[in-house]
Structure 1
C-alpha cells in the first residue's frame, strides 16, 4: 500500500473547508466528489487499485454515524420508515454474493472485457475472478452504507442547508478546476493540475481534438469532466429556477460555457437530452399563458445567441468551420470512429454475457461495458437490475405530492439533488463502464427518502419522527 501525500493534503484542505462551514462530514463528502483523479492510497494487492478521496470521507461519515449514542434506535427508524432501504440492502447483498460466486460459477463460459493488470487498457478475456470484483464491490457497498448513514443524519435533524452549501461549493470548485485547466493549456503551461492526479488511471489530460484543448478539470479525462459538468449544471439550473439564486444562476452559466468547450461527446449528447425536459417545461408554460421570468430570460438569451451566431456566420462564413468539424467528429460520426466501434463491441459482448449466464450476471466488477444500463444487466443480472430499478424510481419520483408539506427551500434543494443524480445517470448511460451508479446517486436516494419521511410526519403529526439531534 502506497499512501498519496497529495491526496492526504487535499483531504486536509477539504476537511478544513467543511469545518469552516460547520459540516465537515456532509460538505467533505460532497465536495470531495469533484476530485475524480485524486487518490488516497494505491493498493498493490488489488491490482494497483487507487481509491479516490471521496472514499475517505464516505468511510469517515459511516464510522461517525456508527458510533452515535443511539445508533440502533436510529437504524430502527430508518429501516422502519424508509422501505426503499430494504431494496438497497438486498442489492448490496446480491452484489457481494454475485461478485464472489458468478465469476467462479460461470468461469470460462462467456467472454468479457476487463482492465489489464499487465498493461493499461481493456482486454478481451474469458470470465474469471479479477481484482475488480473486490474493488468495485467495495465502492458499491460503501455507497450503499453512505446512503444509510445519511438517512440517519437527515431523518432526525434538518440538514438541508448543509446539503445546499455542499453542492454549491462542489459546483463552484468544479468550475474553478475547469477554468484553471483550460487557462493553463491555452497559456502553454500544459496540465497544471497534474500534481493532484494521483489515481492509478490512464490520464488523458493533455489531448487536443480538432485543434481544441480537451478540458479535464480535476478528472482523469474529458468525458469524466463532461459528466460531472452535466450533474453540476442540472443542480445549479434547477436551484436557480426555484429560488432565483444569483449564485446558482452564475454557476449554471459558467458550467454551461465549460461544458460547451469541453469537447466531450458525453457532454454534448447529455446536454441535448437534458434540454428536452427544459423545452417541454417552457412549452407547457407558453401553452398555458403563464410565463415565468426565468423562462423569459432563457428564451431571450437563446434568441440573442442565435441572432449573434447568424450575424457572425454572415460576416465570416468560415468562422464556425472548426466548431462544425468538432461536432461532426465528437457527436455525429462518433459511432463510426474506432473508439465508438470498440465501445459498441463492449456493449454487445456484455449483453451476450447476460444471456449466457441465464440472466444472473457475471458479477460486479467482472466486466467492462460502455453504458450504465448495459453494465447493470451484464454484471447484476435481472434480479439486481430490478432492485436497482426500485432505487431509480425513488430518485425519478422525487417528492411527488409530498412537496406541499415541506418549505420551498427544502423542496428546491431536494429537487436540485434529484436533478443532479438523474443527470449523472444520463452521463453514465452514454459512457458508464460499471454497474455502480456512483455515490452521488446514493446521496440523492438518502436525501429524497429522508425528506419524504419528514414530509409524511408533517402531514400526519401523530406519526412524526423525533427531530432532536442525539
Structure 2
C-alpha cells in the first residue's frame, strides 16, 4: 500500500476542513469526485480515489452535527430512498461473496477484476474475484455519500453549498478537458500524471481519424462523455429555470460542445436523448405557465435552429460528408468494429449470466458488460434490479410540481442530471456502480430544506409568464 502525492494533498485539505464549516467540506468533496483517473492510495491492484478518501472527512465533519446525523438515520427508514439503496448494498455484498462460490463454473463471464486474469481478453469460468470486494466497497461508499449529501441538503445553507459544489464541478470538468487538449498539443502530458496514476487501464493518449479523444480527468473518452452528460443535464436545466444563469448557461454550452467533440460513441448516441429530455423540460415549464424566458426561447427557437442547421448541412456537400463520416465512424459503423463486437459480446455474456444464475445474478463485481441495465441483471439479478428501481423512484421519481421556487428548480435540475447519467450508462455502462456524482445528484433531488432555515434563492429570476 502506498500513499500518492494527490493522497497527501487530499488528507491535508481534509484536516483543514475539520476546522471549517461542513458546507466547505461538501463543496471540496463534490469537486474531488471529478478525479476519476486518480488514486490517492494504491493498495495492490485496487485504487482508492481522492473523493473516496475525502468522503471519510466529509462524514466526520457533516455528521458531527447532531441534526445531520439524525437525518441520515431517518433517511434509512422503510420506503425511504436510503432504505432501498441500503438493500441493494446488502444484497450486492452478499451476492458478491456467495454466488461466485455457489455457482462456480456454471457459466462463463467477462471478468471485472484484473489481478486474477491480467492477460485474458475473453471469458473465464465463474468464480470469486477481488472485484467482488472492491465493487461492494464502492457501492457502500455510494450509500454513505447519498446519506451525507441528503443530510447536508436538508438545510437551506447546506442545499446552497451543494449547488455551489456542482457548479464548481462543472467548471472544473471543462477546465480539465481543455487542459487535456492543451497538454497533448504541446507534448506536456506529464503535467497531468499526478491525476492519472490509478491502477486500471487508461486511454488518455488516443486519437480517431486525426482527432484527439477528450478524456479530461477520466480514464477514457466514454467515461468523460458519460459524466459530462450529467453535468449538461444539471447546468442546462438550471439555465432553463433561470437559476445562476450567468454560470450555468456557458457551462452547459461548453459541456455540450465537449461531449460532441470527445469522439465518444457514448456521447454521440446519448446526447440527442439528453437534449430531448431538456426540451421536454422546457415545454413542461411553458405548459404550466411557470416558464423563464430561457425555456420560452428554447421551446420556440430550438426546432427552427435545428431545421436551419439541417438545411445548411444538406446544401454544403463538403460539410455533409465531414459530419456523415464522423457519425459513421463513431456510431453507424461501430457495431462492425472490433471494439463494437467486443462490447456486444459482453452484453451477450451478461444476459447469459443472468439466465444461468436463475435470475439471481452472478454476484456484484463479477461480470463486466456494456450497458447498465445488463450490468444490473447479470451482477445482482432481479432482486438487485428491483432495489435499484425502487431507490430511483423514491429518490427522483416523486412528483415535485412545477412551482417557481429555487429549491424545486434545483431538484428538477438534479433529477435531469441523474437521468442524463443513466442515459449514458445505458449505452456503455460496465458496472453496477454509477459513481459518486450520480448519488450526489440523487440526494439533491431528494433533499427538502426546512422552511425555518434562512431562505435560499440563488439568482432568483423575475417572473416571466
Superposition TM-score, scaled by structure 1 size: 0.86
RMSD: 3.2
Comparing 14-23 with 80-89, greater Cα deviation is found at 14-23
Q: How big is the shift at 1:120?
A: 5.9
d(CA) in 2 for partners of 1:285, 1:53: 38
Alignment of 1:219-238 (within 5 A): 219-238=218-237
Q: Which residue of 1 aligns with 2:461?
A: none
1:164 counterpart residue number: 163
Rate the CA distance shift 1:68–1:308 in 2: closer, same or farther, 3 A: closer
Aligned residues of 1:27 and 1:166 also touching (Cα < 8 A): yes
Judge which range, 435-444 or 68-77, deviates more.
68-77
Take 1:146 and 1:377, find their aligned partners in 2: how far apart are those partners? 24
2:83 aligned with 1:51? no
Contact 1:30 1:167 in 2 (8 A): yes
What residue is the counterpart of 1:85 in the other structure? 82
Deviations 1:290-322 (A, max 9, x none): 9863245445477557646755775x6324534
Q: Indicate whether 1:271 and 2:271 are aligned.
A: yes
C-alpha distance 137-39 of structure 1, shift in aligned 2 (>3 A):
same
Once residues 239 and 178 of structure 1 are traced to their aligned partners in structure 2, the CA distance between those partners, rounded to angstroms, is 22
Partner of 2:198: 199
- Equivalent-residue separation in structure 2 for 1:157 and 1:304 (angstroms): 38
Give, in whole Å, the separation in 2 of the partners of 1:71 and 1:400.
Answer: 23
The structural deviation recorded for 1:395 is 3.8
8 A Cα contact 2:264 2:330, kept in partner:
yes
Moved more, 95-104 or 21-30: 21-30
Determine whether 1:421 maps to 2:435.
no
**CA pair 235-188 structure 1, distance change in 2 beyond 3 A:** same
CA contact (8 A) 1:134 1:365 kept: yes
Aligned partner of 1:382 in structure 2 is 382
- What is residue 461 of structure 1 aligned with on the other side? none
Question: Is contact 1:15–1:24 with CA below 8 Å preserved after alignment?
Answer: no
Find the counterpart in structure 2 of residue 463 from structure 1: none
**SS of the counterpart of 1:50?**
strand
Per the alignment, in what secondary structure is the counterpart of residue 228 of structure 2?
helix
The worse-fitting range, judged by mean Cα deviation, of 28-37 and 279-288 is 279-288
- Tell me if the contact between 2:22 and 2:62 (Cα under 8 Å) persists in the aligned partners: no
1:410 aligns with 407
Distance change (3 Å), C-alpha of 1:72 and 1:267? closer
SS in 1 for 2:109: strand
Aligned length: 450
What residue is the counterpart of 1:444 in the other structure? 441
Q: Any residues of structure 2 matched to 1:208-357 within 5 Å, and which? A: 208-244=207-243, 245-281=245-281, 293-295=293-295, 297-298=297-298, 300=301, 303=304, 307=308, 311=312, 314=315, 317-357=317-357
| Contact map agreement 1:111 1:353 (CA 8 A) in 2 | yes
Q: What CA distance in whole angstroms lies between the structure 2 residues aligned with 1:18 and 1:66?
A: 12
- What SS class does the counterpart of residue 175 from structure 2 fall into? helix
